[in-house]
Amino acid sequence: MTAPAADDLTTGDEVEVEVGAIAHGGHCVARYDGRVLFVRHGLPGERVRARITEGGPGDRFLRADAVSVLEASPHRIAPRCAAAGPGGCGGCDFQHVATAHQRELKAAVVAEQLQRVAGIEREVVVEPLDDADGLRYRTRVEFAVVEGRIGLRRHRSHDVVEVDGCPIAVPDVDEALRETRAESVGELEGIRAVDVVVPSGESDTVVVEVPQEAPTPPIEVTEIVRTPAGERSMTVDARGFWQVHRDAPHAFVAAMLEAADVRPGERVLDLYSGVGLLSVPLADAVGATGQLIAVESDRRATEHLRDNLAAHPWALVVPGRVDDLLGVPRQGRRRGPRRPARSDLLPPSAHVVVLDPPRTGAGRGVVAALTSLRPRRLVYVACDPAALARDTAYLGELGYELTALRAFDAFPMTHHVECVATFEPKGEAVTS
């Protein structure tokens, strides 16, 4: 069989390639006669037969799956899930990779992004959470429903792979899925998803059937978080944002508090607060002589944030978008000469700023506004290495340097990694 010419490669073609370095996004980079392939299900150093899944002649790069392994990496293992692999469930990128090596790959991605985007050379270690084998950690799973079939989405597709369970989910999720499937035969018309939530503060598993058209009625659950002040109960919607790894909330709170080093009586700003996972321990830390200002845009999350901070009268909840409240114009929006007004509810200075932005990161405008507050420490919780590296570069331009970085494997079997980065003013510390 004649190998296709590189310029003619298109979806469905298969070629033999040597797999190169890991890249951001859960794939490795390979080249076929100069054409770039982003290959999933392979490992650096392997020789594989790759099938093109997206792209064609004239495209800058192609996407591909490693459908057969000709020369295997010593870090390759048999997937722990029958639905994993080419053409299967798109949720896990690294089912074929030994757990310890998954963390090494993620560390390499974080280090590469910091070096390439921010010009920072730093050795990165990704720390495991309390899951020895990377399985049975996830407490929240959304199963898609298509034509009455319940399953998980294929990679970059709306197609559904029917599954009996999910090996990265806690066992209660699998049990709830089996019961839902048995009880709902022929009764899932008009349902687009089934969310299964195993809250830490309740004994019952919550199953939410999500309608295709109508809004989903809110269902409140209780989550428990360990803080230096003891266990805290927090209210969150079943479909609201909460860390999915059973141990992530405790680990992130501890890492954030260590990084922030908040002192009693200080003024602290917590941005993109959600329901208050970080706000509550920060309010504990500043105490009644200090002030905690928490900013969140989602209406329901803001309601829960107020409830979760109710025992801290020195905590102020400010609803709204961070960029709007800081007076930063939104990208892609033209407003003429008038700039959005900075909210009077935000202080002119802060001792410590903590932010946990969405995957897109904070951006130049928000970073500039935060450095104008002259905090002595800025703690950035990031779920995307590329966005973190970009904003690290912005912070460097504005006089703040990266002084500490911790990375956590909060999403084993996937390419995702969570980072807690600490920034301080270059040179002498700034007091405010």
CATH of the domain at 390: 3.40.50.150
Catalytically annotated residue among 81, 166, 383, 419 = 383
Is the domain of 210 the same as that of 157?
A: yes
- Give a yes or no: residue 97 inside a domain: no
Is the domain of 209 the same as that of 232?
A: no
Is the domain of 271 the same as that of 406?
A: yes
pLDDT at 277 over 80: yes
330 versus 333: the higher-pLDDT residue is 330
Residue carrying the six token digits 């989602």: 298
> Given pLDDT bands bounded at 50, 70 and 90, which one contains residue 1?
low
Look at residue 161 and give its three-state secondary structure: strand
- Give a yes or no: residue 32 inside a domain: yes
Is the domain of 263 the same as that of 333?
A: yes
**Looking at the 3D structure of the chain, how many domains does it have?**
3
Is the domain of 398 the same as that of 274?
A: yes
Q: What is the DSSP letter of 426?
A: S
- Give a yes or no: residue 124 inside a domain: no
The separation between CA 182 and the C-alpha centre of its own chain, rounded to angstroms, equals: 32
pLDDT at 368 over 70: yes
Is the domain of 185 the same as that of 306?
A: no
Edge-to-edge strands of the sheet including 291-296? 126-128, 400-409, 418-425, 377-382, 352-355, 267-271, 291-296, 315-319
Is the domain of 189 the same as that of 229?
A: no
pLDDT of residue 338: 54
The CATH number assigned to the domain holding 17 equals 2.40.50.140
Domain boundary among 219, 240, 259: 219
108, 21 contact by CB (below 8 A)? yes
pLDDT of residue 82: 93
Helix crossing, 279-286 with 299-308: angle to 10°?
A: 40
148 versus 265: the higher-pLDDT residue is 265
pLDDT of residue 174: 97
> Given pLDDT bands bounded at 50, 70 and 90, which one contains residue 335?
low
pLDDT of residue 336: 53
Domain boundary among 168, 191, 219: 219
Quick one: which of 334, 347, 333, 376 has its CA closest to 271?
347
DSSP H helical segments within 184-271, as ranges? 248-260
pLDDT digits (tens, 9 = 90+) for 188-204: 889 999 999 999 999 99
What pTM was computed for the model? 0.94
Is the domain of 367 the same as that of 240?
A: yes
pLDDT at 430 over 70: no
Is the domain of 256 the same as that of 149?
A: no
Q: How high does pLDDT run on average in the chain? A: 94
Mean per-residue pLDDT, 244-259: 97
> Given pLDDT bands bounded at 50, 70 and 90, which one contains residue 432?
very low
- Give a yes or no: residue 194 inside a domain: yes
First to last CA, the chain: 71
Token pair of 266 as six digits: 């200080």
**How many CB atoms are closer than 10 A to CB 404?**
14
Out of 223-232, 301-310, 336-345, least confident range: 336-345
pLDDT at 123 over 50: yes
pLDDT digits (tens, 9 = 90+) for 7-39: 999 999 999 999 999 999 999 999 999 999 999
Q: What is the DSSP letter of 2?
A: P
- Give a yes or no: residue 113 inside a domain: no
pLDDT of residue 131: 80
In the chain, the largest separation of any two C-alpha atoms, in whole Å, equals: 77
pLDDT at 340 over 70: no
Q: What is the DSSP letter of 169?
A: B
Is the domain of 226 the same as that of 284?
A: yes
The CATH number assigned to the domain holding 200 equals 2.40.50.1070
> Given pLDDT bands bounded at 50, 70 and 90, which one contains residue 332?
low
- Give a yes or no: residue 271 inside a domain: yes
Domain range for residue 28? 6-76
Is the domain of 299 the same as that of 194?
A: no
Mean per-residue pLDDT, 341-345: 89
pLDDT digits (tens, 9 = 90+) for 75-85: 999 999 999 99
- Give a yes or no: residue 246 inside a domain: yes
Percent of the chain with pLDDT over 70: 96
- Give a yes or no: residue 132 inside a domain: no
Is 383 catalytic? The answer is yes
pLDDT digits (tens, 9 = 90+) for 208-218: 999 998 888 89
Mean per-residue pLDDT, 266-293: 98
Mean per-residue pLDDT, 107-112: 98
pLDDT at 115 over 90: yes
pLDDT at 43 over 80: yes
Domain boundary among 76, 92, 111: 76
Question: CA angle at residue 249 from 117 to 377, to 5 degrees?
Answer: 50
pLDDT of residue 161: 95
Is the domain of 176 the same as that of 278?
A: no
